[in-house]
Amino acid sequence: MSICKQIEAIQDTIRRTALACGRDPDSIELIAVSKKQSLEKINAAYGCGQRVFGENYLQEARDKISGCPADIRWHFIGHLQSNKAASAVELFDVIQTVDRAKVVRKIQYHAERIGKIQKILVQINVGREKQKSGIFPENAEDFLKSIQKEPNILVLGLMTMPPWTDSPEESRPYFRQLREIAEILTKKGLFADPDHVALSMGMSGDYIVAIEEGATMVRVGTAIFGARL
């Protein structure tokens, strides 16, 4: 199946899933995860109307972004080291994986330096996995309060990656937990727009369940592009 047909099928699934659970399909954004994919495939997806892409690696992203149309919106979805924050601020519209005070300070510094308001998501480690990035749920409130002091950072919402499983249904409790965390923190005024709090959760294998549990961004790669390089 061509990339265009894959995107069309995924968008149709997003639409049908949203309507089935009483949600507006337009409130859900498809992020095409293009890590380890060729420029040819990215441009093919662009030609099919896809405008939002996610990358995991800064150098790879830099090489791609320079060869792609200027109206693409890029999301950084990989682990961000503080010494790479300058590049992330320069390249990405949204940084989805913020989880440490040192990274926040570096993002603020570089965003202020270039006169940018950097949009971010805070990554929550809902599965409490030692090998994964993200803050634990009980630390989210204090962390978000600390970010409110940074004038060049805008917190759009939360992001998570649940423990890996080949059963989408097993991801549901983690997606539900992220939504519940977001609801509590929204009431405390900790997001930039309380009426539109972003929840980035769900990938190729479980994005349907994520939408049912409130995802507003789904990160889909192999279901669009096929196997990585």
CATH number of 3-225: 3.20.20.10
- pLDDT digit string, tens, across residues 127-175: 999 889 999 999 999 999 999 999 999 999 999 999 999 899 999 999 9
Q: With contact defined as beta carbons under 8 Å apart, do 204 and 218 qualify?
A: no
Alpha carbons within 13 A on the beta-carbon side of 120: 32
Q: What percent of the chain has pLDDT over 70?
A: 100
Cβ atoms of 82 and 104 within 8 Å: the answer is: no
What is the mean pLDDT of the segment spanning 191-195? Answer: 97
Q: For position 118, what pLDDT does the model report?
A: 98
Residue 72 pLDDT greater than 70, yes or no: yes
Q: What is the reported pLDDT for 143? A: 98
Question: How many CA within 13 A on the CB side of residue 174?
Answer: 25
Give the length of the chain. Answer: 229
CB 189 within 8 A of CB 155: no
Q: Which of 152, 137, 98 is nearest to 121 (CA)?
A: 98
Q: What percent of the chain has pLDDT over 90?
A: 97
pLDDT per residue over 82-134, tens digit each?
999 999 999 999 999 999 999 999 999 999 999 999 999 999 999 999 889 99
Query: Residue 228: pLDDT band by 50, 70, 90 thresholds?
Result: confident
Cα 20 to Cα 104, 203, 204, 208, distances in angstroms: 38, 19, 19, 11
Residue 1 predicted with pLDDT over 90: no
CB 127 within 8 A of CB 165: no
pLDDT of residue 229: 66
Overall average pLDDT of the 200-216 stretch:
97
- Higher-confidence residue of 28 and 130: namely 28
